[in-house]
Structure 1
Amino acid sequence: MRRRARRIWVLLVALAASLTVFLPATPAAAGTAWDYPEFPYAPTTYSEPFRGQFHFSSQSGWMNDPNGLVYANGEYHFFYQHNPHGLAWDTMHWGHATSTDLVHWTQKPIAMEPGVQPGTLFSGGGVVDRDNTSGLKTDSLDPIVVFSNTDGVSVYYSNDNGQSFQAYDKGRKVVTVPDGVTSRDPKVTWDAARHRWVMVFWSDEGGNGVSVYTSTNLTDWTFASRYHAPWLFECPDLFPLPLDGDTSRQKWILTTASSQYVVGDFDGTTFTTDQSTPQTMVNGDFYAAETFTDTPDGATVQMGWQRGNQGSTWTGDASFPVDLGLVSTPDGPRITRTPVSSLASLATSPQTWTNEKVTASGNLLSGVQADTYEITAQFDVKNTTAKQFGFDLHARSDGSADRTVLYDTAAQTLYGHPLKPRNGKVTMRLLVDRGQLEIFADDGLYSVADTVNFDSSADSQGIRLYTTGGSVKLTTATFTRLNTSWGTGQSTLQSDLSGPWHAAGGAWSDVSGGKQGSSGGDGFYLSNTSGGDAVYQGDITLGTAQAAGLTFHANASGAGYTATLDRSGVVKLWRPGKDIATYAMPITGSRAYHVTVRTDGTRIRVYLDNAATPVIDATDSTYASGRFGANVFNGQATVQNLDVGDGGFQAFASGAWTPVSGTWTVTPAGLRGSSSGDGFYLSDRTGSDFTYQGDVSVTNGAATGLTFRAGADGAGYTATLDTTGVVKLWRPGKDIAVQSTPITEGRTYHLRIRTDGARIRVWLGSATDPVIDATDTTYTSGRFGVNAFGGNVVAQNLTVS
């Protein structure tokens, strides 16, 4: 979205600023790498007035243009322009939500933040690099590659399914335009016929238009052509569609932010069309639409921004996703828009009418009361005497209604826009949400998106089917209630356990650190996954709670086993009515503890903080299997990374590891550390002369490394990888040796350290020669550990020999 051309949304910003703002009084601000990604959202039930129940809106804050719409690794990803700290446009971030069906959306942490990723982070597109044409893939998941920035395009990519993004080459602008020319809004698609990528972005070079670039690897781009058009302003999209479903008659569509479009051809370098004026795809409150790439069924799915919707904690929402088609008409090829079929997953209680005469004196829907719903109706207008007919929505007994959808038979308009009968019939489909109204007609050739503040109170949920000036025949009509789509996913809890999750006591909400439970007594949060013998692990932060832990072999109410951390100073394995075993040790509320439970028949072992030896080894035969989940008791605690299996932090045998500053948790990918300054995670194993090695990476931020010969406070030597481009051996107060080497965020590097008395050598990767060979006599022996500095880091596969 533009920064300078504000005329489209300045009124909305002013209106939003005038609202009573219930968001925290936090100014719009850039983020920091060490606590990225942030989740700055207060809890909500999504039941506020005017909040769409099947239209996506951000959990809080401002949203505008859809960005980087992709289907990747089994999920649809909806990114969007976002100010999470206020109700007006400011300091653009990329918000993020995911869905498996395009209907049930789950808010996710911020995808990209100014201050973490370089650039303006304005609107852009995204693709899934399934064939790793970019060479950016580092793990088993297909990279999500997105494009943003102004006056030149920057590339950002994610190898963890959108949980974090890195900037390619530190955000270097890989596509540039002449000096003094404004450009923005890159959109990329795959040109299957020529086996390469195509990018379009808007610029004002010589007037409004798009520049077309091509690439084989997503990082090196070649100018191909320029398409000028005065109507072509902002947020272009270029994509192919088969004409009338015939894949041998493929046409290319070029659209702009206002939903105007032309149909033409693309030869791999140049877009051409014989259409002198553009068509309008959608009338009403609809802007900056974008299509998904790489959908599983090959469908072209589109979502746009509805600017007018707002509430006490959010501004803006997305239009309901539609499948696009292209059909022949007497006026040439035209776009059709059809709501995605998965909308049916929300449908309940359908009612149908057929062959009814509609007059001014009656109302076929007089007994229907509804808040969110769908109406499909077909009218035979060949012999109608009605001057007008239609629906009053959210009607009241006093005759008023929040909105009227009216067909004018003389003007042949629906809702004020032209709609000619087809074979003597008028068919319309209405999607009615709490703050949105979308109308589809003429087999998808007609689309309207509107923002309507519907009154959802009980006495304002009527529907009137009416006529004026005569009667009309209703061929068929179906009314269907649409349930809410919210609340089916996990926003911040990372887990390989299947849902739906449910609370059995207590209140459970999403926070940056995971799932936060609050309960006066025992509260449980339980997955839908059950099991018997297993390894179950997770991170527990007590916060204010008296106790919290991992629950397993449980029924739906939480009755089963729980391995608990209790601030009274014990680790406890218990079941209802019995404390099976306890282990005394200090427990604090401010740090995360990693708890692992291993069950083998009646034997239950509990491990703490990645130690090789259990703190509890007990037997009990009461519960043989059951659900996995978490528990909180008497206060507020946070759980994270609830996973079943042997994955996790793979390291040399040690007692419990100890955090020294920073936050340290364990994911299936390994140990994850976050620290604003120097943070250490230390084992209790010590050594003098040895070979110490492991795999480390900086997800986002400054530096990570392996620490050795260290004291309990982390003071010792550290071999560091720094994203400024150096490998460094240092100790407190001194950089012993520095070697210039490119270090890329998100990439895993193998570090190997060998000490022989005062001599310290450091190898990077599989190189034969060390990158550092130095001497220092300050520390002769001490602990092994991991360091994080000014960012998020991951460590895995640590060995000492």
Structure 2
Amino acid sequence: MEARIRAAGALTAALARDPHRPAYHFTPPAAWMNDINGALYWKGRYHIFYQYNPHGAYWHLIQWGHASSTDLVHWVHHPVALIPDADGPDRKGCFSGGALVSKEGVPVLIYYGNPDGLCLARSSDDLLIEWTKDPGNPVIPEPEEGSADFGRYTMHDPCGWLANGQYYAAVNNRDPKGRGDAAFLFKSEDLCTWEYVDVFYQSRRPWTEGGEDCAVPDFFPFGDRHILLFCSHLQGSQYYIGEVRDERFFPEIHGRMSWEGGHLGGPRTLLDPNGRRVFFDWVRELRGNDRERESGWSGAMTVPRLLSPGPGGHLQIDPVPELEVLRLDARRHGSIEVSADSEVAVEGIGGDCLELAIEIDPREAREVGVKVRRSPGGEEETAVSCDVAAAVLRVDVSRSSLDREIRYTRYRSLQPHLPECEQYVTAQEGPFELAPGEPLVLRIFLDRSILEVFANRRQCVTQRIYPTRTDSTGISLFARGGAARFKSLQAWNLAPTRM
């Protein structure tokens, strides 16, 4: 026992010293996390569940980790919610899923029990600590080869909801076979007996690639439309906005939340008592399997975001205002003129745990932006910019780290043997167009190795960066192809959260 206590203490000290471990983004106490699962607001607390291996910083025999918060900022770690049963339908892992509240007012987790099918678990305590698996699991079995349903649908990564007195579950097409992402729909009156309805939706090729699937779906009302959030194992987190007719979803708008070189891959939302749709996602690592194992931890969660309908029915994205309680040492700069093809260092502002709020008039500049985690000589730096001409929000990571082993793959596939995974990029770019005369308004959250960039409330790019130098903490402003005016710049150090 004493040896185990010493080992735990040594790990805690090592994690505290790790320059890449986030200070205010949620992470487990140690070890591995991936997809966010089953987010739920219950009796005054925000609950998140996540794919978890408590035994090391690697993916293996997955369980459901659990944490809760009263303010979306400070989190309490709870005991593991779901553990595979050695002789049960989830014996190879409690894979991803969602949460709902039953007609009787009971919280229910719905998940894929590997290898046998869709499973349920229920809780009756206020903190959702104790979970009882349904004795009828799997309530929707994985189709066996030779059965009538084999080939019609697959069981994987369900989400569940209650609408008009009917339970529904949408599950992932885990093997698209070049046909692209799709989801399969089931319905039930009592959560016990389920009926296969049909294909819930089928993607359109201009929007997604043939090798993309609809992993970890999350489906919910959105204004006068619905949203289907999901992640493809090839290209990461994305969404559809569309209409439901006759138990079928018809996408009208498609958008991504992660692009080539990006890091998001397991989204989930909840609805809070104020009617806010709160979004969470898994931010994956880029240090390599061996380094992650050695460090003792892997994975983090984005800062919570608010999703709301924007102009034209598009998605509006904001960090939750609760994060403002972390602000320290407010600093403000007035107007700063930056001439064409030049760079201006910002004195008195720097660090690796910051929030920046910047408003920019691009004027005639082709590209304007800010560099963070910049070393004095510029050997390390990450450039955040709006390329006005190309209509993209860009995070340039070509000089983010002197560590040559840090490389950004074009695709985020969890199947590294694929040839596509040997293709690399030096920047992540999300579509973003400024209207004539519209200023660029940036909210930037920097947390050691995590960078989240919000632009004009309608785009967000998340990036992992791994600077090696302790003096890579500077900030500078730049303009290319023309002069620009930085109308205002506010900065705060951000305090670490309690976890």
TM over 0.5: yes
Q: Residue 168 of structure 1 aligns with which residue?
A: 134
Q: Gaps spanning 5+ residues in structure 2: where?
A: 144-148, 204-209, 395-428
C-alpha change, 1:165 and 1:409, in structure 2 (3 Å) is same
Give the conservation status (yes or no) of the 8 Å contact 2:34–2:284: yes
**Residue 486 (str. 1) matches residue 463 (str. 2):** no
Give the deviation of 1:163 after TM superposition.
1.5
Give the deviation of 1:174 after TM superposition.
3.8
**Residue 251 (str. 1) matches residue 228 (str. 2):** no
C-alpha change, 1:228 and 1:409, in structure 2 (3 Å) is closer
What does the per-residue CA deviation read over 1:167-203, in whole Å, with 9 as the maximum and x for residues that have no partner? 1115333465523653200101232xx2333211113
C-alpha change, 1:114 and 1:470, in structure 2 (3 Å) is same
Q: Residue 380 of structure 2 aligns with which residue?
A: 401
**SS at 2:97 equivalent:** coil
Q: Residue 159 of structure 1 aligns with which residue?
A: 124
Task: Give the Cα–Cα distance (whole angstroms) in 1 for the partners of residues 249 and 482 of structure 2.
Answer: 50
C-alpha change, 1:365 and 1:411, in structure 2 (3 Å) is same
Q: How many residues end up aligned between the 2 structures?
A: 424
What does the per-residue CA deviation read over 1:566-612, in whole Å, with 9 as the maximum and x for residues that have no partner? xxxxxxxxxxxxxxxxxxxxxxxxxxxxxxxxxxxxxxxxxxxxxxx
Counterpart of 1:189 (choices 161, 164, 183) is: 161
Counterpart of 1:318 (choices 292, 301, 316) is: 301
What does the per-residue CA deviation read over 1:674-703, in whole Å, with 9 as the maximum and x for residues that have no partner? xxxxxxxxxxxxxxxxxxxxxxxxxxxxxx
Give the deviation of 1:212 after TM superposition.
1.4
Counterpart of 1:343 (choices 318, 323, 338) is: 323
Which amino acid is 1:225 matched to? D
**Residue 67 (str. 1) matches residue 37 (str. 2):** yes
Task: Give the Cα–Cα distance (whole angstroms) in 2 for the partners of residues 50 and 225 of structure 1.
Answer: 45
Q: Residue 298 of structure 1 aligns with which residue?
A: 275
**SS at 1:344 equivalent:** helix
Task: Give the Cα–Cα distance (whole angstroms) in 2 for the partners of residues 199 and 463 of structure 1.
Answer: 47
Task: Give the Cα–Cα distance (whole angstroms) in 2 for the partners of residues 295 and 378 of structure 1.
Answer: 30
C-alpha change, 1:241 and 1:474, in structure 2 (3 Å) is same
Counterpart of 1:327 (choices 279, 296, 310) is: 310
- Map residues 77-476 of structure 1 onto 2, 5 A cutoff: 77-115=47-85, 118-119=89-90, 120-129=93-102, 131-132=103-104, 142-150=106-114, 152-160=117-125, 161-169=127-135, 171-174=137-140, 177=143, 178-179=149-150, 182-191=154-163, 194-203=164-173, 204=175, 208-226=181-199, 227-229=201-203, 230=210, 231-242=212-223, 250-257=224-231, 258-267=236-245, 269-274=247-252, 278-283=254-259, 284-292=262-270, 294-308=271-285, 312-329=295-312, 333-359=313-339, 363=344, 365-381=346-362, 383-384=363-364, 386-415=365-394, 416-424=429-437, 425-443=439-457, 445-455=458-468, 457=470, 459-468=471-480, 470-476=482-488
Give the conservation status (yes or no) of the 8 Å contact 1:128–1:144: yes
Give the conservation status (yes or no) of the 8 Å contact 1:61–1:87: yes
**SS at 1:223 equivalent:** strand
Give the deviation of 1:334 after TM superposition.
2.0
Give the deviation of 1:156 after TM superposition.
0.9
Task: Give the Cα–Cα distance (whole angstroms) in 1 for the partners of residues 436 and 303 of structure 2.
Answer: 28
**SS at 1:235 equivalent:** strand
Give the conservation status (yes or no) of the 8 Å contact 1:394–1:456: no
Task: Give the Cα–Cα distance (whole angstroms) in 2 for the partners of residues 264 and 97 of structure 1.
Answer: 32
State the structure with bigger RCO (CA 8 A, min sep 6), 1 or 2.
2
Structure 1 stretch displaced more, 145-154 or 69-78:
145-154
**SS at 2:266 equivalent:** strand
Task: Give the Cα–Cα distance (whole angstroms) in 1 for the partners of residues 61 and 85 of structure 2.
Answer: 10
C-alpha change, 1:268 and 1:49, in structure 2 (3 Å) is farther
C-alpha change, 1:40 and 1:87, in structure 2 (3 Å) is farther
Task: Give the Cα–Cα distance (whole angstroms) in 2 for the partners of residues 219 and 41 of structure 1.
Answer: 47
Which amino acid is 1:440 matched to? F
Give the conservation status (yes or no) of the 8 Å contact 1:281–1:335: no
- Map residues 420-569 of structure 1 onto 2, 5 A cutoff: 420-424=433-437, 425-443=439-457, 445-455=458-468, 457=470, 459-468=471-480, 470-487=482-499
Give the deviation of 1:455 after TM superposition.
4.9
Higher strand content, 1 or 2: 1
Q: Gaps spanning 5+ residues in structure 1: where?
A: 1-22, 27-38, 134-141, 243-249, 488-801
Give the conservation status (yes or no) of the 8 Å contact 1:66–1:290: yes
Give the deviation of 1:205 after TM superposition.
8.5
Give the conservation status (yes or no) of the 8 Å contact 1:372–1:433: yes
Give the deviation of 1:407 after TM superposition.
3.1
Structure possessing the higher radius of gyration over alpha carbons:
1
Give the conservation status (yes or no) of the 8 Å contact 2:89–2:117: no
**SS at 2:284 equivalent:** strand
C-alpha change, 1:232 and 1:254, in structure 2 (3 Å) is farther
Task: Give the Cα–Cα distance (whole angstroms) in 1 for the partners of residues 80 and 286 of structure 2.
Answer: 21
Task: Give the Cα–Cα distance (whole angstroms) in 1 for the partners of residues 492 and 441 of structure 2.
Answer: 16
Give the deviation of 1:313 after TM superposition.
1.1
Give the conservation status (yes or no) of the 8 Å contact 2:370–2:383: yes
TM-score, normalised relative to structure 1:
0.49
Q: Segments of 4+ in structure 1 off by > 6 A? A: none
Task: Give the Cα–Cα distance (whole angstroms) in 2 for the partners of residues 434 and 461 of structure 1.
Answer: 10
Q: Residue 426 of structure 2 aligns with which residue?
A: none
Aligned-residue sequence identity (percent) comes to: 27
Give the deviation of 1:91 after TM superposition.
0.8
Task: Give the Cα–Cα distance (whole angstroms) in 1 for the partners of residues 162 and 108 of structure 2.
Answer: 14
Task: Give the Cα–Cα distance (whole angstroms) in 1 for the partners of residues 247 and 10 of structure 2.
Answer: 44
Which amino acid is 1:325 matched to? S
Task: Give the Cα–Cα distance (whole angstroms) in 2 for the partners of residues 109 and 43 of structure 1.
Answer: 18
Give the conservation status (yes or no) of the 8 Å contact 1:427–1:441: yes
Task: Give the Cα–Cα distance (whole angstroms) in 1 for the partners of residues 314 and 252 of structure 2.
Answer: 13
Give the conservation status (yes or no) of the 8 Å contact 1:372–1:482: yes
Which amino acid is 1:317 matched to? A
Give the conservation status (yes or no) of the 8 Å contact 2:331–2:349: no
Give the deviation of 1:214 after TM superposition.
2.5
Give the deviation of 1:228 after TM superposition.
2.6
Task: Give the Cα–Cα distance (whole angstroms) in 2 for the partners of residues 432 and 344 of structure 1.
Answer: 14
Give the deviation of 1:123 after TM superposition.
0.5
Q: Residue 759 of structure 1 aligns with which residue?
A: none
Task: Give the Cα–Cα distance (whole angstroms) in 2 for the partners of residues 369 and 273 of structure 1.
Answer: 43
Which amino acid is 2:97 matched to? G
Which amino acid is 2:300 matched to? D
What does the per-residue CA deviation read over 1:39-71, in whole Å, with 9 as the maximum and x for residues that have no partner? 999545745221111211221111111111111
Task: Give the Cα–Cα distance (whole angstroms) in 1 for the partners of residues 243 and 124 of structure 2.
Answer: 34
**SS at 1:52 equivalent:** coil
Which amino acid is 1:280 matched to? R
C-alpha change, 1:128 and 1:46, in structure 2 (3 Å) is farther
Give the deviation of 1:423 after TM superposition.
4.2
Counterpart of 1:52 (choices 6, 11, 22) is: 22
Q: Residue 417 of structure 2 aligns with which residue?
A: none
